[in-house]
Amino acid sequence: MTGRWAGSNRRAELPADWYTAIRPAVLQRDEYRCRNRIDGRVCGRTANQVDHIGDKHDHRIEMLQAMCADCHAKKSSRQGNDARWAVRRQRPAERHPGLIG
């Protein structure tokens, strides 16, 4: 993974109490265990990160889950790639410069 947080404004989008109230509450609720599902089973490794289950702007505790760094990185990478490909699919196909007409 190259950029990680480089160039991201994600931290600025988090609520003021993210690090003092929300994040610790989610980690404690989930007993510091990764809740990501892999092939239908919960990962269960030690979690040190909190992930948004749905909308990245929905900071309700019930819409957050504890995740280990590996699972969170894979999920974020997959979401980023999906978003990048969605943009590519929207672009019109470029005409080949050698074609006339």
Tokens 């019109």 sit on residue: 92
Reading the block at residue 65, the tokens are: 């889950």
Residues 21, 93: Cα–Cα separation, whole Å: 48
Count of other CB atoms within 10 angstroms of residue 64: 22
Say whether pLDDT at 2 is over 80.
no
Q: pLDDT by residue (tens digit) across 39-84? A: 999 999 999 999 999 888 999 999 999 999 999 999 988 888 887 7
Q: pLDDT class for 1, splitting at 50, 70, 90?
A: very low
Q: What is the pLDDT of residue 29?
A: 97
This prediction's pTM: 0.73
